[in-house]
Amino acid sequence: MHSETDLYRQMSALDAEHFNTCFYCGCIATEYDLVPGIKHAEFYLRTREEADFYKVPACRECFYFLKDDNSALLGQRVDVAKRCLARKYKKAIRIYEVWNIDEIDELDYQLKHSVNAGMILGKESCQRVAFTGFDYEADGVKHSTHFVKNEVFVIFGEKFDNFRDALEHGHKAYRIPKAKLIELFTEHNHCFDTAINSFHEKLTRKILDKNLKRQCTAFALKHKQNLKFVMRTIELYCTQDQRLTYDMALDKLYLEIIRD
């Protein structure tokens, strides 16, 4: 049986600012995560499957996230730790993304205190999930490979470095409630452009439907017709000829059916 000292290469940060820093999330490192875990080491040695055999500085939380994971590559374990962080602090991250300071000031004391605490935790959690690791040395070899790419969010050509700023811009520029924009963003394959277009298409349809009902109601009362009949006929006319306005369709209904 091999010992931990024989198998694993110590990972050391090249920059002093990252000494004693968790490679996975940037918090203070108090433990060492073994890549792969010691109980899986013999398997990778025996099968010769690819494995890093690093001793990675980690905070207590990331260490426990990865304690039973059998991933043998550092990049894989980074992904696992990030997923665990995002899942555990999902509610706090959502609060941080949705709320801003001006909105919090308008709340009553108790709710303000709760939301403010959520924002602080959410901001910290976002930073931990976005942490890209650091340059390191192992067995005298320097490495600068980072496993987290900074995601760029685009709204009609305008780029944002983080989701929160993109959400704020989408909310203010296109007058969409943040919670609704998040919902549509998720529904439309994480694309802000499609989400925003979808919202305004539905809004336009809602306005048109309201106007249609108003005009059809007035028409039905004037000509003593059934409202549902009038609306169905107008919708049919507009589907058959998309150049027709509601007024034009109502004139057609009157001339072709009601007058005679």
Does residue 182 belong to any structural domain of this protein? no
Number of alpha carbons in the 13 Å side-chain half-sphere of residue 246: 16
Q: Give yes or no for a contact between 68 and 100, defined as CB atoms under 8 angstroms apart.
A: no
Q: Which of 88, 180, 173, 181 is nearest to 126 (CA)?
A: 88
Does residue 100 belong to any structural domain of this protein? yes
Q: Return per-residue pLDDT of the chain as tens, 260 residues.
A: 555 567 899 999 999 999 999 999 999 999 999 999 998 888 988 888 899 999 999 999 999 999 999 999 999 999 999 999 999 999 999 999 988 877 777 777 778 888 888 899 999 999 999 999 999 999 888 988 777 777 899 999 999 989 999 999 999 999 999 989 999 999 999 999 999 999 999 998 898 889 889 999 999 999 999 999 999 999 898 889 888 888 999 999 999 888 86
191: amino acid identity, one letter: C
Does residue 122 belong to any structural domain of this protein? yes
Does residue 87 belong to any structural domain of this protein? yes
Total domains present in the chain: 1
What's the residue count for the chain? Answer: 260
Does residue 183 belong to any structural domain of this protein? no
Does residue 32 belong to any structural domain of this protein? yes
Cα gap 42→32, rounded to integer Å: 19
Does residue 65 belong to any structural domain of this protein? yes
Residue range of the domain that includes 73: 4-145
Does residue 212 belong to any structural domain of this protein? no
